[in-house]
Structure 1
Amino acid sequence: MRVISLCLCCMLMTYAVVAQRNYVPGVIVTSKNDSLKGFIDFRNWYQSPNEIDFKESLSNGNEQHFKPADINGFKMAEPEVVYVSRKLRIDITKQDVNSLNEKTERIVQDTPVFLMRMVTGRYNLYEYVDKFSRVHYVYDAVDVPATELEYIQQYVERASGSGIFTEEKYKDQLAALFADNAALAKKASQVAYREPNLKKLFLAYNNYKEPGAQTSEPVTVQKKKRLPVTFGIMGGMAFTSYPFKGSAYIGLGEYENSKGPIGGIWADIPLGRNGRNISFVPELLYKKLETTGALHGIYAGQIVKFGFTYLQVNTLFRYTYPTKTPIRPYINVGLGNGFVIKTNENGLLRSPDREWEVAIDEPRKYEQTLIGGIGVKIYKVSAEARYTTGNGFSPYPAGRTAIHSFQILAAIGF
């Protein structure tokens, strides 16, 4: 019952922050190309936003909501990001492993959307991430409407053999765009469908065209966005069981489960823009293990007590599921490395009329742990349910001190 109550408390604390906003200074470019200064609710969008929230001042409680059809775009100073609104016909068919294993109808979207600006000049380059988290690159110009650079993977049934086929139409599109520069047109026919490659190509062409352009178009490039490394604190409760096994005496007993606090500090380090939903999470935690065991068999009637304090360094990899809302579920997997910093109990009582003895000579000071967990993050607050299993403190090959722990954790970032 206590576990359930604690879990509910963590979830309530997490959902309590849904109402929070992250307003940063920004500018709305209206449909008449006027600038409306104020504050934009920045959500660190993974998928391109369908709507943004805007306030003219932080003290103003009235929010305005803008869809791509309502405005020409918006920009923010920190982080430095510019979105433009364009009417775009685009293929958003899923291209994940499951979808590519069978023939499916293509899904074409033909609506105004927000595109994130990557390069400007004679030709502008944009990025669009659709509702299926598929990344698209789009270009336009003064006299050229927004057009998708087409990179299509699909399952095709043929007499000669069915399978997944890739159409790299974007290479022909780029070669035609840059046809007046033979060197760049050749590079375009070989360029990879990746942000850095396409940005470099568009920037080179725009710089080439700028000196001879009749109407000067300023050449700019979106600065490399450094995904922020976040830090924070975490804490919660650990519910631990001790299924010791083996022929050694410590394996011949029944051990009490224990519960106790666990807490420490953490960092979340994103592993790159294209994998922005994958991160490396190191943690430094403080924890205690305490249990009492009643031995049986030839050791019936004897009692052992163990208690150790650990500093544990966890190295986790986290996958955060991309959503359009602040509520983002995630999973953690990784390893823990625990180091005993204090021995609180290590006693053996053979009978009530005798003194306590040392139960284990030189207990192992290093514990290895496998870790898995699921959680949810809302803005800077997260809650997680985690399971760990470790090899414990026994140095005896015939006495395995397996330690299993179910943990409920809450964390906040700074």
Structure 2
Amino acid sequence: MQKIKRMFLFSTNFKHLFILLLHQPFINIYENNFTFRLFNFFNLNAFSQSNFQKGYYINFNGDSTTAFIKNEDWKRNPKTIEVKNSLESTSSEKLTTKQVQAFGFINGDLYHTFAVDVDMSPTSLNQIRTDAAPSIIRDTVMLRTLVKGEVNLYVLTDKESKTHFYIGKGAEEPKELLNQKVKRSTETGVAFHTLEIYKGLLSVYLGGCGDLQAKIQKTPFQQNAIKDLVSTYNACIAPATENFSAKKEKVFLKVGVVAGYSFYTYKFSDATSFEGVSGADFTGNSATAGVALNLVLPRNHGRWTIANEIMWKPYTASSSYEKKESANKYESATTEFKLTYLGINNMIRYSMGTGVMRPFLSVGVANNLLISDNSTQHKETYFYGQSKTHDGAPLESMRKHEQALLIGLGISTDKYAAEARYERGNGFSSYSYLKSNKTAFSLQWHIFYANPAPMKQEGSPVLQETLLVS
């Protein structure tokens, strides 16, 4: 019964989205009225569920408190956490780094608060100054634990989305593993170098374990690689001490099929040498289908997705033209464009909320490759009793590659998604003096066969509770 209810709500909400879009086309997406109604439709109260999960936090007196903590699955490390005593409670409290020594979730992330040195040196090559000294600041941060054992490993993603790794033992202040990009003056100009300082610090902390030193020199500055190295050391030196290891974060491939129906219009600029085509609007509608290969990025509750599609896109659009100068002199043409494209769609998708049904917004581009052209044009001219007809192609030359902007709005569950999508492309005219453009509106249904597994950590709830109070 609950499943039927969810499917009914899913269909009803998508119906409301469809009605909204019919009353306000995508082409007016920047108008205030559309933005207001779009905001109302995507009111997250209707789609989100509570992010408060059972966990623990410790103050600086060492007191441990069981609480429900709002889990944002942070990509950037938090500065505060929001807690409440029970899920039913209507009030919550925000705690800062001055109040929380550590916190964590049952079968979830663990965080510890430390005052550390943070290397804020830029990583973008165009921001690095020649012979500049490292930019180090002192900050109190909540570090996310990757490994807890004989040697501990932590990660920090700062407000600039730069990733920092920290290593330490016990309750000592962790030290940052530095991987600095520098710009140095040379006799012939300037050169960029990467200083892999982190390898030296890893050698200090991970010494005395067989051939691990040789592996350190080959270890890239990547989370999973460094995490594996520290776990290998703990297993080698003191296997019983490692009682927490964060699950490896991976991009998840979500495979599915797509089916939909499109309504489209081709428009052409005025060009006197293209009677029957120039200045006309060609409209049509047809079914479309394809496969989806979506890459769900880790953290942020899977909100960010790189959505890729390979689509079969047939277009059949027709129009009629008539020019009558007198009863004895006139001409007419009936034109039908019958085209088939292989569309490669690439989009960035952002999903809102954390409930069973999640609204999403997609923005991207389409590269449509013309694979079939069966277009026809029938012309008839009448001149003082003489009638002539001609059948042929409307255009002698066709653009083989169409580029288009994609904007989509929809609702998704783990296995299904419904989407309304707008596409605007540069059409198929290859003539500089005959401009063409295409606008299409489609309704699509997605069915996925692979779904992301919950991001859970390794270890038992009992162990995690012990970790927090240790």
State the TM-score, normalized to the length of structure 1.
0.70
- After superposition, give the CA deviation of every residue in 1:148-200 in whole Å (9 maximum; x if it has no partner): 10111122335674332221111111111122235212322342111222122
**How much is the aligned-residue C-alpha RMSD, in angstroms?**
5.2
SS at match of 1:162: strand
Indicate which of 240, 248, 251 corresponds to 1:224: 248
**Which one-letter code corresponds to 2:404 in the other structure?**
I
* Map of 2:365 onto structure 1: 333
CA contact (8 A) 1:335 1:370 kept: yes
Indicate which of 62, 67, 71 corresponds to 2:96: 67
Compared CA separation, residues 196 and 34, structure 1 to 2 (3 A): same
Compared CA separation, residues 45 and 359, structure 1 to 2 (3 A): farther
User: Are residue 279 (structure 1) and residue 306 (structure 2) matched?
Assistant: yes
Mean CA deviation greater in 98-107 or 114-123: 98-107
Compared CA separation, residues 141 and 15, structure 1 to 2 (3 A): farther
User: Are residue 174 (structure 1) and residue 202 (structure 2) matched?
Assistant: yes
CA contact (8 A) 2:284 2:318 kept: no
Compared CA separation, residues 291 and 49, structure 1 to 2 (3 A): farther
Matches within 5 A, 1:321-400: 332-336=364-368, 348=378, 350=380, 369-373=402-406, 386-391=423-428
- After superposition, give the CA deviation of every residue in 1:226-276 in whole Å (9 maximum; x if it has no partner): 44556799999766424598978666x3322659899989856227669x9
Mean CA deviation greater in 195-204 or 234-243: 234-243
**Which one-letter code corresponds to 2:331 in the other structure?**
G
* Map of 1:255 onto structure 2: 280
Indicate which of 46, 66, 75 corresponds to 1:36: 66
* Map of 2:178 onto structure 1: 150
Mean CA deviation greater in 345-354 or 330-339: 345-354
* Map of 1:93 onto structure 2: 121
* Bigger helix fraction: 2
Compared CA separation, residues 377 and 61, structure 1 to 2 (3 A): farther
**Which one-letter code corresponds to 2:208 in the other structure?**
D
The alignment-based identity, stated in percent, is: 13
SS at match of 2:331: coil
SS at match of 1:144: coil
Q: How many residues align?
A: 392
CA contact (8 A) 1:249 1:295 kept: no
CA contact (8 A) 1:203 1:219 kept: no
Mapped to 2, the partners of 1:112 and 1:238 lie a distance apart of: 56
Mapped to 2, the partners of 1:184 and 1:102 lie a distance apart of: 35
Mean CA deviation greater in 82-91 or 167-176: 82-91
Mapped to 2, the partners of 1:412 and 1:116 lie a distance apart of: 38
CA contact (8 A) 1:92 1:107 kept: yes
* Map of 2:437 onto structure 1: 404
* Map of 1:164 onto structure 2: 192
Structure 2: gaps of 5 or more residues: 1-23, 324-328, 351-357, 449-470
CA contact (8 A) 1:39 1:58 kept: no
State the TM-score, normalized to the length of structure 2.
0.63
**Which one-letter code corresponds to 2:168 in the other structure?**
D
CA contact (8 A) 2:305 2:349 kept: yes
Mapped to 1, the partners of 2:409 and 2:134 lie a distance apart of: 33
CA contact (8 A) 1:263 1:287 kept: yes
Mapped to 1, the partners of 2:171 and 2:308 lie a distance apart of: 47
* Map of 1:51 onto structure 2: 80
SS at match of 1:145: coil
Mapped to 2, the partners of 1:208 and 1:291 lie a distance apart of: 73
CA contact (8 A) 1:23 1:41 kept: no
